[in-house]
């Protein structure tokens, strides 16, 4: 039995390497010279470079950065293979311009519908479906000013928790691991602004819908079931839980959606519209199309997935840098005093008129991009990228992390945290793309930026921040807060 297993495994490995070699030769045949590629990486190697190790999301970005430095730094792209597919990893701003602006030639690769995520949503759809949805949803994100009072209230509520903990400390400082509290603040902000629901994440309330969301969110780590959803039909204990949470989440969403539809039809309480209400009310100007319940549900899920972790991660890294860089912390505080004052609530206009704060957040997103590599694209015809012929059907994976960390675009001080680099006007706009670019740029960019700036202003108005001793940045790093 063991021998058969070893023989079968060896056969798979040999086939993988033969397949990989055939693919490489295909690229060479078309181009005369292929992108540099990881020599040792066949199917198995690519799997290692594509999927995170359990609990180490950042590890994919770092592993790719090693490949990039070795094979792609000069040209801005490198190659791999997975099964019969050629994968082209791109980090070159010139190629980005081509990929992100020509959405018909480089549509998003269809990952297939997943049970939780669905497929009828803005992030995954292509062509006319995407265009219609974007037309309908865009207006909801035009007026972020409208959501500022909610950002303010919930940020203050989150900071009140730290203030009262500090007040009951025997010392005049408080040490906290900020990550999970910040995630809870962003979840509560999203619950309120998107759905009008108080999840009470900050108070650790047990809301079943939120528990179901967390379970389903975590289930997305299970790559195998994501690729082969029929595996969820196997009657295991875990799968029973999965279906329980999926059904529970879906009925919660359908309840919220029908309340929102009723609110719009009755024109009741319209002075407090949520993003969902706005999406329900909106229609495509060209076609008069509206979103179906399924589309509303799938988009709401995407907003959750795309937003709570990303904004929270960015704020976590901002705290890390604030604790590390006291001189910058003082500069930020001075700007806050000059523009907003020591205790006043900042207005939307003020949050858009604080150059150092804006550059600070921009640099956090440059050095620690929460989305290290965007949804893969597929090229629909033979094309030339960064001087190399890339055959039709190849999968193209933009590597934002690599671009943001490349000395080719940021010079020798690429690894330094330097907000002022963003006021010098010498950074290629396609070399700094934490929110993606062009038509498929993040719809929630302004939402997240204002949410983050609001948090940082309110935080620094109350506290001085130090970093507790840490060797490396990690999920559970600690900061030390003391009263201003």
DSSP for 246-284?
A: HHHHHHHHHHHHHHHHHHHHHT-STTS--HHHHHHH---
Q: Residues 263, 440, 453, 458: which binds ligand HEM (CB under 6 A)? A: 440
Please, which of residues 361-400 interact with ligand HEM by CB under 6 A? 370-371, 374-375
Contact predicate 133/172, CB 8 Å: no
CB of 303 to ligand HEM, least distance (A): 4
Of the two residues 24 and 440, which places its CB atom closer to ligand HEM in the complex? Answer: 440
Of the two residues 336 and 374, which places its CB atom closer to ligand HEM in the complex? Answer: 374
Of the two residues 216 and 374, which places its CB atom closer to ligand HEM in the complex? Answer: 374
Q: Point out which span in 88-96, 278-286, 304-312, 322-330 binds ligand HEM (CB under 6 A).
A: 304-312
**How far apart are alpha carbons 101 and 152 in whole angstroms?**
36
- # of chain residues touching ligand HEM (CB under 6 A): 23
CB of 155 to ligand HEM, least distance (A): 15
Cα of first residue to Cα of last residue in the chain, in angstroms, is 69
Residue with the CB atom nearest ligand HEM in the bound state: 444
Of the two residues 43 and 122, which places its CB atom closer to ligand HEM in the complex? Answer: 122
Q: Point out which span in 38-46, 72-80, 336-344, 429-437 binds ligand HEM (CB under 6 A).
A: 429-437
Q: Point out which span in 82-90, 241-249, 418-426, 435-443 binds ligand HEM (CB under 6 A).
A: 435-443
Query: Site map for ligand HEM, 133-152, x if CB under 6 A?
Result: -x------------------
Contact predicate 422/367, CB 8 Å: no
Q: Residues 332, 443, 460, 479: which binds ligand HEM (CB under 6 A)? A: 443
Contact predicate 82/43, CB 8 Å: yes
122 binds ligand HEM (CB under 6 A): yes
Half-sphere exposure of 208 (CA within 13 A, CB side): 11
CB of 158 to ligand HEM, least distance (A): 17
CB of 226 to ligand HEM, least distance (A): 17
CA of 342: how far to CAs of 99, 124, 158, 164, 360, in Å?
A: 45, 44, 18, 19, 19
CB of 357 to ligand HEM, least distance (A): 15
Structure tokens at 43: 């199917």
Q: Point out which span in 143-151, 167-175, 405-413, 444-452 binds ligand HEM (CB under 6 A).
A: 444-452
Q: Residues 86, 390, 434, 462: which binds ligand HEM (CB under 6 A)? A: 434
CA of 72: how far to CAs of 75, 84, 302, in Å?
A: 6, 22, 32
Of the two residues 41 and 274, which places its CB atom closer to ligand HEM in the complex? Answer: 274
* Cα–chain center distance at 221: 15
Rounded to 10 deg, the angle between the 445-462 and 148-167 helix axes is 30
Q: Point out which span in 28-36, 168-176, 306-314, 459-467 binds ligand HEM (CB under 6 A).
A: 306-314
Q: Point out which span in 170-178, 207-215, 414-422, 440-448 binds ligand HEM (CB under 6 A).
A: 440-448
123 binds ligand HEM (CB under 6 A): yes
Surface-to-core class of residue 479, CB atoms within 10 Å of its CB (0-12 exposed, 13-18 middle, 19+ buried): buried
Q: Point out which span in 169-177, 196-204, 302-310, 405-413 binds ligand HEM (CB under 6 A).
A: 302-310
Residue 383 annotated in ligand binding:
no
303 binds ligand HEM (CB under 6 A): yes
Contact predicate 455/181, CB 8 Å: no
332 binds ligand HEM (CB under 6 A): no
| Beta bridge partner(s), residue 436 | none
Beta strands (DSSP E) in 16-92 are: 77-82, 85-90
79 binds ligand HEM (CB under 6 A): no
Count other C-beta atoms under 10 Å from residue 29's C-beta.
11
306 binds ligand HEM (CB under 6 A): yes
| Beta bridge partner(s), residue 114 | 118
In terms of phi and psi (left: phi > 0; alpha: psi -120 to 50; beta: otherwise), the region of 466 is beta
Contact predicate 479/466, CB 8 Å: yes
Contact predicate 242/215, CB 8 Å: yes
310 binds ligand HEM (CB under 6 A): yes
Contact footprint for ligand HEM (CB under 6 A): 122-123, 134, 302-303, 306-307, 310-311, 314, 370-371, 374-375, 434-436, 440, 442-444, 447-448
User: Annotated binding site for heme, which residues?
Assistant: 442
């Amino acid at each position: 039995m063991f021998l058969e297993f070893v023989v079968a495994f060896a056969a798979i490995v040999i086939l993988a390497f033969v397949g990989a070699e055939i693919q490489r030769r295909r690229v060479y045949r078309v181009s005369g010279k292929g992108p540099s590629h990881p020599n040792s990486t066949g199917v198995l190697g690519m799997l290692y470079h594509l999927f995170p190790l359990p609990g180490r999301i950042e590890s994919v970005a770092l592993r790719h950065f090693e490949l990039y430095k070795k094979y792609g730094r000069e040209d801005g792209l490198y190659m791999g293979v997975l099964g019969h597919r050629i994968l082209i990893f791109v980090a070159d701003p010139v190629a980005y311009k081509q990929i992100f602006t020509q959405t018909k030639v480089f549509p998003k690769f269809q990952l297939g519908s997943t049970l939780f995520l669905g497929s009828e949503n803005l992030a995954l759809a292509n062509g006319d479906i995407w265009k219609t949805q974007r037309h309908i949803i865009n207006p909801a994100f035009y007026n972020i000013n409208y959501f500022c009072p909610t950002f303010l209230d919930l940020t203050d509520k989150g900071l009140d928790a730290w203030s009262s903990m500090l007040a009951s400390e025997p010392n005049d400082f408080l040490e906290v691991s900020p990550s999970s509290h910040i995630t809870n603040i962003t979840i509560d902000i999203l619950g309120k602004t998107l759905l009008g629901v108080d999840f009470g994440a900050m108070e650790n309330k047990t809301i079943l819908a939120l528990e179901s969301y967390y379970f389903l969110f975590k289930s997305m780590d299970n790559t195998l079931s994501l690729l082969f959803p029929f595996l969820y039909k196997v009657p295991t204990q875990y799968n029973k839980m999965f279906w329980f949470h999926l059904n529970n989440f879906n009925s919660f969403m359908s309840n919220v959606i029908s309340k929102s539809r009723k609110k719009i039809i009755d024109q009741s309480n319209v002075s407090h519209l949520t993003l969902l209400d706005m999406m329900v009310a909106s229609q495509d100007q060209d076609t008069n199309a509206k979103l179906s319940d399924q589309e509303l549900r799938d988009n709401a899920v995407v907003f959750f997935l795309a937003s709570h972790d990303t904004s929270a991660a960015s704020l976590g890294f901002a705290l890390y840098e604030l604790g590390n860089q006291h001189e910058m912390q003082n500069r930020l505080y001075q700007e806050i005093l000059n523009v907003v004052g020591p205790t006043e609530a900042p207005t939307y206009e003020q949050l858009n008129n604080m150059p150092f704060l804006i550059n600070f957040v921009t640099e956090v997103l440059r050095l620690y991009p929460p989305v290290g590599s965007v949804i893969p694209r597929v090229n629909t015809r033979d094309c030339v990228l960064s001087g190399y012929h890339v055959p039709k059907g190849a999968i193209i994976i933009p590597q934002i992390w690599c671009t943001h960390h490349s000395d080719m675009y940021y010079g020798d001080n690429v690894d330094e945290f330097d907000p002022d680099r963003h006021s010098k006007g010498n950074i290629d706009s396609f070399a700094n793309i934490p929110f993606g670019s062009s038509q498929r740029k993040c719809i929630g960019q302004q939402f997240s930026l204002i949410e983050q700036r609001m948090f940082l202003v309110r935080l620094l108005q109350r506290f001085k921040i130090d970093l507790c001793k840490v060797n490396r940045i990690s999920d559970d790093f600690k900061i030390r807060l003391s009263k201003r």
